[in-house]
Amino acid sequence: MGLLSEGSPLSWEETKALADHVRKHGIQQFINQFKRLKSRKRDYLYWGDEVEYMLVKFDRERKTAKLSLRASDVLHELQKAEKQNPQSHPTTWRPEYAAYMVEGTPGKPYGGLMAHFNLVEANMRLRRTEIKKCLAEDEFPLALTCFPRLGCPGFSSPDTTPTPEAGASRSLFFADEVIFQGHPRFRTLTRNIRQRRGKKVAINIPVFKDKYTPDPFVEDLTQYGDTGEGATGSKPDHIYMDCMGFGMGCSCLQVTFQACHIEEARNLYDQLTPLCPIMLALSAASPVYRGYLSDNDTRWTVIAQSVDDRTEEEMGLKPLEKDRFVINKSRYDSVDSYLSSSAYSDIELVYDKDLYKDLINGGIDDLLAKHVAHLFIRDPVSLFSEKVNQNDEVDTDHFENIQSTNWQTMRFKPPPPDSNIGWRVEFRPMEVQLTDFENAAFTTFMVLMTRVILTFGLKFIIPLTKVDENLKRSFKRDAVLEQKFYFRKDILTDCSPPEAEDAVIQCCDGGKKCNIQDQYTQLSINDIIHGKEDFPGLLPLIENYMDMVEIDVDTRCTIKQYLNLISCRAKGKLKTTARWIRDFVQSHPDYKQDSLVSESINYDLLLKCAQISEGTQSDDTLLPSTVDTKTSDEIPSAILKEQKLMCNNCP
């Protein structure tokens, strides 16, 4: 969701004119905050998930499923209970980009007890129950990564008409009313990204070529009112989309972890970075865009292109005159540097040298200074008049302004001012799944990975160019089964970083020298998850860890079912949501093998999704045939007492 400052948004020209001011003070705020909090120690291993839901309205007579633009009213209702009881209400609700989205998180983060894993699914269920109470009978909350007919005529309720000649997005397909109206941030971001770029964003996703898909696939965009920008921006054989809403209107599943101290947070950030493409492929859930089957299975490149505010100079298409940097990626993309070691950061980092100097002079070390100075090559894309002048000793809004509009695979989150929150990292790539069971499974798997990384000192880092190559592979159709991914061979060996630039590193085991290139290999996701020959596998490591710690019977039973889901998806015994959606579409009687996902297919698909998420229908190609976790709203007091005694680092 990002920073929701209150106030009146400035125009793009006013915001641009204040960009240096925001950056200068943002850096100062970070330095001040860092100085205060760098030696914070012994924070708890808190963690929490974020799930984004879409509100879908079904018309059973007309057989339509539309996005209901009622998030503002629904949120108002949802937040009432939280406002009355901020300390103890079990859920938290926040707005998201679109007027059909809401974001739900647990009321407070989970802690270090194993029994906390048994609360996640029950809390997600409670969230669904809470939303449903605010919805009409024909509306339903769906945890859907991408609404298949987003941007098709009549996709919203009430119906909306795009205004290509005016407004924030100027989209041919997506009216401004579909942007969340309850806070000006989202509209302002949309307008400013377009104005900064100098034209609309152009999102092109390869279309899935079926037997009767036109060849080449080229749409006549004049039917939507295109006067040329669409024709220039769209590519043949691609699904074309033209505004921020197509990306930021997708839902996802994110998990945030608090570390005990800053060094641990930096290490976690680094070790989780190579897992991003793997988990994106494993959670793939979005194969349809603007009513067409695509050749991608995930949302990632759609969002990256949807907020790409780089100018032609910044893209390297014209010599630099007005702008300062050639930038290799969108603001929404993968990370460009590690935080605990430079040895594997082989992407040439673009960073603001002056701000870097300020950071170094402010006592920040080289790696962290480069990370922040890299985030700060961007302009602020929303600024409120009331927030221009801040007290850098206490405020952090300018820092958060830039930080929260760098939407990367991982986010390193400094503690907010005046809080008892510690250094955190956020794992951001995963696609949201239809059921609470699956979302709890992916969340639990990732949290257990952090435990295993910290307990066994695992090292996953490989050169970032290889992580980027993996990310490209992870988008592709059926990547989970078809692709191989660069992965570190010896994740147990504690290699120290190379002393020299020549990338030769000293391995601890036996003192022999080895090159970075010899440290990684290419593995399938099945091998990564289950292990192979001398590669131990992530699941066996988690199981080892579970054997070492005390777990009550119910929690063990629940976790076992979550790990089974991950295992079955990695093996291909169960389909990813993306594959399941493809198969549903392609075997629908109305499907004409032309890549088109019609209104009737969309209706039947989403109805089925709703039934599966309700548990009133099952499909054992997607989910295990018996799902019976012992998830519960509370930790039984006897277990709480027993586990607290055993865990000396628990809240």
According to CB under 6 A, which one of 9, 95, 109, 277 is a site residue for ligand ADP?
109
Q: Would you say 230 or 414 has its CB closer to Mg ion?
A: 414
CA–CA separation, 207 vs 211, rounded Å? 12
Query: By CB under 5 A, which span of 26-34, 46-54, 228-236, 299-307 interacts with Mg ion?
Result: 46-54
Taking CB under 6 A as the rule, does residue 539 contact ligand ADP?
no
* CB 303 to Mg ion: min, Å: 13
Taking CB under 6 A as the rule, does residue 162 contact ligand ADP?
no
Taking CB under 6 A as the rule, does residue 95 contact ligand ADP?
no
According to CB under 5 A, which one of 68, 145, 169, 254 is a site residue for Mg ion?
254
Q: Would you say 1 or 388 has its CB closer to ligand ADP?
A: 1
According to CB under 6 A, which one of 279, 421, 449, 491 is a site residue for ligand ADP?
421
Q: Which does 48 bind (CB under 5 to 8 A by kind): Mg ion, ligand ADP, none?
A: ligand ADP
Helix (H) or strand (E) holding 104: strand 101-106
What torsion do the CA atoms of 618, 621, 622, 626 make, to the nearest 10 degrees?
50
According to CB under 6 A, which one of 104, 106, 184, 463 is a site residue for ligand ADP?
106
Asked if the bond preceding 206 is cis, omega within 30° of 0, the reply is: no
Question: Residue with CB nearest ligand ADP?
Answer: 48
Query: By CB under 6 A, which span of 187-195, 418-426, 508-516, 614-622 interacts with ligand ADP?
Result: 418-426
Looking only at residues 344 through 403 of this chain, which bind ligand ADP when binding is defined by CB under 6 A?
A: none
**Percent composition of the chain: helix, strand, coil (DSSP 3-state, to 5):** 40, 15, 45
Q: Which does 49 bind (CB under 5 to 8 A by kind): Mg ion, ligand ADP, none?
A: ligand ADP
According to CB under 6 A, which one of 68, 118, 258, 576 is a site residue for ligand ADP?
258
Token reading at 545? 């860890």
* CB 590 to ligand ADP: min, Å: 39
CA–CA separation, 453 vs 539, rounded Å? 12
CA distances from 631 to 48, 243, 440, 559, 635 (A): 16, 40, 10, 9, 10
Q: Is residue 448 within 8 Å of 542, Cβ to Cβ?
A: yes
Token reading at 303? 């969002």
Q: Would you say 51 or 597 has its CB closer to Mg ion?
A: 51
Looking only at residues 18 through 57 of this chain, which bind ligand ADP when binding is defined by CB under 6 A?
A: 46-50
Alpha helices in 262-348 (DSSP H): 262-272, 275-282, 300-306
Q: Would you say 257 or 485 has its CB closer to ligand ADP?
A: 257
Q: Is residue 259 within 8 Å of 424, Cβ to Cβ?
A: yes
Taking CB under 6 A as the rule, does residue 105 contact ligand ADP?
yes
Query: By CB under 5 A, which span of 248-256, 398-406, 455-463, 507-515 interacts with Mg ion?
Result: 248-256
Taking CB under 6 A as the rule, does residue 409 contact ligand ADP?
no
Site string for ligand ADP, 116-155 (x = CB under 6 A): ----------------------------------------
* CB 268 to Mg ion: min, Å: 16
- Helix and strand element counts for the chain (H, E): 22, 19
Looking only at residues 187 through 216 of this chain, which bind ligand ADP when binding is defined by CB under 6 A?
A: none
CA–CA separation, 591 vs 601, rounded Å? 7
Per DSSP bridges, beta strands 292-293 and 288-289 are antiparallel
Taking CB under 6 A as the rule, does residue 537 contact ligand ADP?
no
Q: Which does 106 bind (CB under 5 to 8 A by kind): Mg ion, ligand ADP, none?
A: ligand ADP
Q: Would you say 294 or 382 has its CB closer to ligand ADP?
A: 382
* CB 384 to ligand ADP: min, Å: 18
CA–CA separation, 382 vs 10, rounded Å? 7
Query: By CB under 6 A, which span of 170-178, 255-263, 380-388, 544-552 interacts with ligand ADP?
Result: 255-263
Taking CB under 6 A as the rule, does residue 180 contact ligand ADP?
no
Taking CB under 5 A as the rule, does residue 49 contact Mg ion?
no
The residues that bridge with 515 in the sheet, in sequence order, are 504
SS3 273: coil
Taking CB under 6 A as the rule, does residue 242 contact ligand ADP?
no
Q: In the 8-state DSSP scheme, what is residue 296?
A: B
Burial class of 151 by CB neighbour count within 10 A (0 to 12, 13 to 18, 19+): buried
* CB 351 to Mg ion: min, Å: 24
Token reading at 450? 């952090």
SS3 368: helix
CA–CA separation, 204 vs 46, rounded Å? 39
Taking CB under 5 A as the rule, does residue 50 contact Mg ion?
yes
CA–CA separation, 142 vs 487, rounded Å? 34
Burial class of 88 by CB neighbour count within 10 A (0 to 12, 13 to 18, 19+): exposed
CA–CA separation, 131 vs 421, rounded Å? 28
Query: By CB under 6 A, which span of 101-109, 239-247, 447-455, 526-534 interacts with ligand ADP?
Result: 101-109
Count residues contacting ligand ADP (CB under 6 A)?
16
Closest CA to 474 of 334, 327, 270: 334
Count residues contacting Mg ion (CB under 5 A)?
3
Per DSSP bridges, beta strands 407-408 and 332-333 are parallel
Closest CA to 134 of 97, 83, 93: 93
Helix (H) or strand (E) holding 521: strand 520-524
Taking CB under 6 A as the rule, does residue 157 contact ligand ADP?
no
Taking CB under 5 A as the rule, does residue 406 contact Mg ion?
no
E strands of 2-90, at which residues? Answer: 47-59, 64-68
According to CB under 6 A, which one of 270, 426, 436, 490 is a site residue for ligand ADP?
426
Query: By CB under 5 A, which span of 45-53, 279-287, 388-396, 594-602 interacts with Mg ion?
Result: 45-53
Q: How many CA atoms lie within 13 A of 553 on its CB side?
A: 1
Site string for Mg ion, 597-626 (x = CB under 5 A): ------------------------------
Token reading at 268? 């976690």
Quickly count: other Cβ atoms within 10 Å of residue 366's Cβ: 11
Taking CB under 6 A as the rule, does residue 233 contact ligand ADP?
no
Token reading at 50? 């974020």
According to CB under 6 A, which one of 157, 213, 234, 256 is a site residue for ligand ADP?
256
Q: Would you say 401 or 643 has its CB closer to Mg ion?
A: 401
* CB 589 to ligand ADP: min, Å: 41
Binding site for Mg ion (CB under 5 A): 1, 50, 254
Binding site for ligand ADP (CB under 6 A): 1, 46-50, 105-106, 109, 254, 256-258, 421, 424, 426
